[in-house]
Structure 1
Amino acid sequence: MNLDKVFYQNFMKNLFADPCEVRYWDGNVVNYGEGEAQFRIGFNEPIGKKEIISDLSLAFGEGYMQKKIDIEGSVQKVIESIYRKQDSPLNQKNPYVKWAKILSNNIIKSKENIQYHYDIGNDFYRLWLDETMTYSCAYFKSPEDTLTQAQINKVDHILGKLNLQPGQTLLDIGCGWGELILTAAKNYQVKALGITLSSEQYTRVLERIQNEGLQDLVEVQLMDYREIKDRNYDRVVSVGMIEHVGKEHLEEYFSTVKNLLSEGGVSLLHCITGYEESAINSWFNKYIFPGGYIPAVQELVSLMASNRFYLIDLESLREHYTRTLEHWAQNFEKSLPIIQKMKDETFIRMWRLYLNSCAAAFHCGNIDLHQFLFTKGVNNSWPLTREYLYP
């Protein structure tokens, strides 16, 4: 392979905001930046210049997965250093970074995409999620909160925002392992339906409903939200699901929610957001979330308005997601002895990179997490202040 050493030197020199040490495949060690190295990068073998130029995120992501690259130090801090370097070759404006093609997520494709990520196995997720098996941003009332407590806080925060009343009906689009619908039934005496495209999640939720004797109040279905017919709900909630909808189907999502909500009904959307419209990068699309798309805040607000929804509350939980991901990454590393018996080294490195790069992206503000609360039409009976949220 014809390697351009000058290209590599210039490339690495501009990559990080912090001083670092780079060991090249020929044993040569170079320090970049002034001061003591904050981390060390090791190239066990070169990645071709053509691969880097054609798709940087894929080249480096696969390079780490395949042990062409090693990182000594915090993976999260390394990625944060890249994000904080404004002119880094890996920042979002660079032409080297390729974004995934936006494809249509029809019902069949959506099911395939969800099963790719969520049907890895409940035993795997149980190792590093919290006791409630909640796989979305937690809510830390205190820095000392455990992950389990923060996830309980999050569910309580969402259900409180919805101002649920006994006897109401609730639909959870993308219900995960069921914590929200089960809590809603037990604490608020509402009738709840959860839907998911993951067979692993569906099986677990069904077990929980039966084990807790909630068959009269809680139902779960293995189906796409677009397949629900002739039913209306007082409340519709969706947590961490719309990121899988895809840009082409955002309008379809909101029009479907409008049809499912009763007049004056309330919906809460909890989702990852961007400040610009952007697909996910090609590495994430190939290995983590096929068909994923992070909508922009203004994109979502515009779609709410065009569907005659009234936005009544908007809250950012960005740093809550940073903390959540850091907990997940720590739990993942603590569970490595068990995970190594279940998955190969390529998978482990892929998952480590995924969790740490997401934590870095939230902490640096590349992406955000918002909760949108909106009503179908005018709802003049809604509480005048937020005091109802904090009794």
Structure 2
Amino acid sequence: MQGLLDAIARGFQGGSLEFALPDGRRFTLGAGEPRARLRFRSAAALRRVMMAPALRLGEAYMDGDWQPEGTDLKDLLGIGVRLEAHREHQTALGRWARLRSLLGEINTPLLSRRNVAHHYDLDESFYRRFLDADMHYSCAYFREPDQTLEEAQQEKCALIARKLDLQPGMSVLDIGCGWGGLAMHLAQHHGVHVTGVTLSEGQLRAAQRRARERGLEGRVEFRLQDYRDTPGRFDAVVSVGMFEHVGRPQYRRFFERVAELLQPQGVALLHTIGRECCPGGTNPWIRKYIFPGGYIPAASETLSAVECSGLWLTDLEVWRLHYARTLEEWHRRFQARREEVSAQFDERFCRMWEFYLQASEASFRDGDLVVFHLQLARDRRRLPLTREYLYR
């Protein structure tokens, strides 16, 4: 066992994971500080994890086969995230692994709807337990260090509006509109008409209900519709947290479609999780349990697709630790109402979500994940020549 662990972590000095077994045996993965301990229920459970750690570590946690001992799960996963990044840099994906990853991202309209339903058609009340009051399920923008999650989500909406250079009366398309928070913010605060499209039936019902409750039926419209089938032209197109579900085989068509949907003087804003390293694959546990069909792009993969679309990249901003703070707050709220979630679903579901939230936070805090903001336009002269208008 120790020989296998040494081979897995060869050359890694970014921390140590100690595996403790019921019979008193201990094995170490990695080297250096910080250190964390996992107590396994059995030697067989540890062997299963070591045969495919990227997938089975999370599965074993869901099944209660191990627990952190003397440390928080988040700190332990931070070491794991650094180790996984080390392994990716040391060993490039083989040809078959690359092909398998790409095949898992062929998201036809039918597969896209099925993949979206897997994650987003959970009961709305579940998401209400840990999201902000306006139900934004994406990275917040903490302009000030002491802002609440609610304030930071509104800051994000306001910054997006400035990047779209909105004026009253404009038409806006929101691709992947979620529960409608951004669309309603733009309609209420900027006097625009917003069409939001989603593939989630649950999100559609909630967004339509919330628009009626706010008296916005004439200013926002929500549809169950794929962006590939959306008709019309718009003064602005925005997409927040949806591009991660597009899949690389569809990247070029996605940006071509954005160009087709924009008026000649139109502006688009893409908000997406990205990786600050070379292209890779999707973590198998995330793909199986959280986001089937998903992929987090490198900047090179995104920009090469933009270059073929006829759009101008007018601004690129990288948000570094904003999502780590957002996820930390989501997890705090999730834990505060964990008993309710367990009663609604079950304990295994709760352990899956706490693993997902804390592994994601660790990936933004200790790994290579960031958020990209791509501002795009069809006309190079459409926007101001400096960035001052974004921060007035």
AA aligned opposite 2:101? K
User: 1:45 & 1:196 partners in 2: Cα distance?
Assistant: 44
Structure-to-structure mapping, 1:120-139, within 5 angstroms = 120-139=122-141
Say yes or no: does 1:174 pair with 2:206: no
Q: How many residues align?
A: 385
The alignment partner of 1:101 has SS state of helix
Question: How far apart, in 2, do the equivalents of 1:55 and 1:114 lie?
Answer: 26
Match of 1:44 among 30, 41, 45: 41
Residue identity opposite 1:172 in structure 2: D
Q: Name the SS of the counterpart of 2:321 in structure 1.
A: helix
In 1, Cα distance between equivalents of 2:32 and 2:51: 33
Query: Does the CA-based 8 Å contact 2:22-2:42 persist in structure 1?
Result: yes
Distance 1:62 1:43 in 2: 13
Q: From the superposition, tell whether residues 157 and 220 of structure 1 become closer, same or farther in structure 2 (CA, over 3 Å).
A: same
Q: Distance in 2 between matches of 1:212 and 1:16?
A: 54
Q: Which moved more, 1:107-116 or 1:28-37?
A: 28-37
CA distance in 2, matches of 1:308, 1:124: 41
In 2, Cα distance between equivalents of 1:328 and 1:349: 15
Partner of 1:27: 24
Partners in 1 of 2:5 and 2:373 — Cα distance?
42
Q: Aligned partners of 1:342 and 1:122: how far apart in 2?
A: 12
* Matched residue SS, 1:195: strand
Secondary structure, in 3 states, of the residue corresponding to 1:114?
Answer: helix
Distance 1:52 1:22, change over 3 A: closer
Of residues 198, 201, 213, the one that matches 2:200 is: 198
Instruction: Quote the Cα distance in structure 1 between the aligned partners of 2:2 and 2:53.
Output: 17
Q: Secondary structure at the match of 1:166?
A: coil
The TM-score, its normalising length taken from structure 2, stands at: 0.90
Q: What is the one-letter code of the residue matched to 2:299?
A: V
CA displacement, residues 188-211 of structure 1 (integer Å, 9 cap, x when unaligned): 111110011111111111011111
Counterpart amino acid of residue 25 in structure 1 = P
Q: CA RMSD in A?
A: 2.6
In the alignment, what sits opposite 2:347? 345
Per the alignment, residue 101 of structure 2 pairs with: 101
Look up the SS of the partner of 1:333 in the other structure. helix
Q: Do residues 56 (structure 1) and 57 (structure 2) align?
A: no
Q: Structure 1 45/89 Cα, relative in aligned 2: closer, same or farther at 3 Å?
A: farther
Amino acid at match of 2:80: I
| Partner residue, 1:145 | 147
Structural mapping, 1:378-389, within 5 Å: 378-389=379-390
Aligned-pair CA distance for 1:85: 4.6
User: CA–CA distance in 1 between the matches of 2:85 and 2:179?
Assistant: 41
Distance (whole Å) between structure 2 residues aligned to residue 78 and residue 146 of structure 1: 26
Following superposition, the deviation at residue 41 of structure 1 comes to 0.8
Q: TM-score, normalised by structure 1?
A: 0.90
With over 3 angstroms needed to count, the CA separation of the structure-2 counterparts of 1:48 and 1:183, relative to structure 1, is closer
Contact 1:82–1:88 (CA under 8 A) maintained in structure 2:
no
Q: Is the 8 A contact 1:268 1:374 kept in 2?
A: yes
2:370 is matched with which residue? 368
- Residues 303 and 95 of structure 1: is their aligned pair in 2 closer, same or farther, counting only changes over 3 Å? closer
Q: 1:27 offset after TM fit, Å?
A: 3.0
CA offset at residue 311 of structure 1? Answer: 0.8
> Does the 8 A contact of 1:329 with 1:352 survive in 2?
yes
- Percent identical residues: 36
Alignment gaps of 5+ in structure 1: none
Unmatched 5+ stretches in structure 2: none
SS at match of 2:162: helix
